[in-house]
Amino acid sequence: MDRYPPPGARGIAGRWRSPLRGPWLTSVYGAVLLAGLPLVIITGLLDYAAYSPQFGQAFPGDVGWLRLPPFDWPTRPSWLFRVTQGLHVTLGIILIPVVLAKLWSVIPKLFDWPPARSLAQVLERLSLLLLVGGILFQIGTGLLNIQYAYLFGFDFYTAHYFGAWVFTAAFVVHVALRLPRLVSALRSRPLRRELHTPTIRPEPPDPDGLVPARPDTATISRRGALTLVGGLSVLLAALTVGQTLDGVWRRTALLLPRGRQPGEGPNGFPVNRSAAAAGVQMTDGWRLTVRGKDREVTLGRAQLLAMRQHTVRLPIGCVEGWSTLQTWTGVRLRDLAALVGVSAPDSAHVRSLERAGLFNQATLQANQVLDGDSLLALRVNGADLSLDHGYPARVIVPALPGVHCTKWVADIVFRTGSDA
Ligand SMILES: Nc1nc2c(c(=O)[nH]1)N[C@H]1C(S)=C(S)[C@@H](COP(=O)(O)O)O[C@H]1N2
Ligand SMILES: [Mo]
């Protein structure tokens, strides 16, 4: 069977004749991914945990035995979510050229013949299928999400979450199988020397068949290939990082459409969902309802402004990767809890005037309610909140994912023990 591949199989594999290919180049890309991908995986899982899945409000809600160990997402440092989410999205994007380059470097393996030599080889190829399919799936769904191309509705979260576990499992298997070969390949030629070599010396034939049997003449050196891939990553980084910076830098975030030109003035920062899109109109007679176990009060904006005001500088970090740092003024959530006789709330349930939409309510943990910087914000940067930013009142809590910083708040229920 070995000697009789189907017509063309050997021919196809033989077509990939770049003299650059070989264990060394594959291992350089592999080492970069080995350093970067665990960070993308970990920050991704942390982002899921930041949504307080213990309240059933993370997407997807029920993940069966793939549940993460439950813990309360901290409120300190206040930039925690900004960093985990920003890293997840930015690093995920920056690594795309490296992923593609590594796939290019192992293309001949896809035409391995015979396809099933032994059980071990079948299992390995299966894990490669999950590895390659998994990462392309995660890149595709992730990119579509930050472009607001919700082609698949909110199943994005479900797909991306389970896709992450499939990919992670395949990644762990792959690293366990290949790490020794990666190390020995990297040792076979020092990086520094290779970077100083403008010409190509094909690597010696390798057991994996990455090195072509009949190498073509080179059109680019290994140094050139690495520079090209690294340059593309730097370019992507430059077009992405602006989303986490305020001011003019935001305009450079060409890959992330949200709020590149957020407007001028105190309310000139990105809007996730405008009041018009949320179907919220100015409500003159607006009153906030605050409820505790056996007390309820309603407050107008003037009454809220007459309470003790607190000013904090806190970020909004969105799941799509953008973030912004602003100065908020309003009433502490724990003061509102005390007002209805709840000194030690276990959670708070916040609802918006917005009728529909997945983000019209949120449950906050005890530590998030009790933090002295957690506000029902009425003003931002010294001005009244604009309607798009949640006027008459919105939630702002340190390190809380933006999606739970509910805008146009209508009522808050502080819960304890049995009714939590
Ligand atoms: N009622 C309501 N609140 C909401 C949202 C929403 O769609 N509806 N979007 C949330 C999301 S996803 C983010 S990132 C922040 C963004 O706040 P901003 O629009 O003021 O920047 O608002 C949050 N609050
Ligand atoms: Mo968001």
- Report the distance separating Cα 253 and Cα 237, nearest Å: 9
At 9, the pLDDT band (50, 70, 90 cuts) reads: low
- Report the distance separating Cα 97 and Cα 239, nearest Å: 14
Q: What residues have CB less than 8 Å from 213, skipping those under 6 apart? A: 14, 205
Judged by its nearest atom, the ligand closest to the C-alpha of residue 359 is 1
Which atom of ligand 1 has the smallest separation from the CA of 352?
1
Q: How many residues does the chain have?
A: 420
Residues with beta carbon inside 6 Å of ligand 1?
Answer: 270-273, 278, 316, 318, 352, 354, 357, 359-360, 389-390, 402-403, 405-408
- Choice between 255 and 94, residue whose per-residue pLDDT is larger: 94
- % the chain with pLDDT above 70: 93
What is the 358 CA–ligand 1 centroid distance (Å)? Answer: 10
What is the 398 CA–ligand 1 centroid distance (Å)? Answer: 15
Domain ranges in the chain with CATH number 3.90.420.10:
275-415
Question: Is the previous residue joined to 262 through a cis bond, with omega within 30 degrees of 0?
Answer: no
Could you tell me which CATH number the domain at 275-415 has? 3.90.420.10
What is the 353 CA–ligand 1 centroid distance (Å)? Answer: 13
User: Residue 211: helix, strand or coil by DSSP?
Assistant: coil
What is the pLDDT, as a whole number, of residue 2? 47
In this model, does residue 150 exceed pLDDT 80? Answer: no
pLDDT tens, position by position, 27-63: 999 999 999 999 999 999 999 999 999 999 998 988 9
What is the reported pTM? 0.93
At 75, the pLDDT band (50, 70, 90 cuts) reads: very high
pLDDT tens, position by position, 85-106: 999 999 999 999 999 999 999 9
Which atom of ligand 1 has the smallest separation from the CA of 389?
20
User: Which residue among 273, 274, 280, 375 is best mutated to probe the pocket of ligand 1, counting the most ligand atoms within 8 A of its Cβ?
Assistant: 273
Give the lowest-confidence range in 247-256, 341-350, 360-369.
247-256
- Report the distance separating Cα 408 and Cα 390, nearest Å: 5
Residue nearest to ligand 1 atom 11, measured at CA? 403
Which atom of ligand 1 has the smallest separation from the CA of 353?
1
pLDDT tens, position by position, 160-200: 999 999 999 999 999 999 999 999 999 999 999 999 988 88
What CA–CA distances, in Å, run from 14 to 111, 216, 246? 9, 11, 51
Beta bridge partners of 332: 375
What is the 268 CA–ligand 1 centroid distance (Å)? Answer: 15
What is the pLDDT, as a whole number, of residue 257? 67
Beta bridge partners of 379: 329, 384
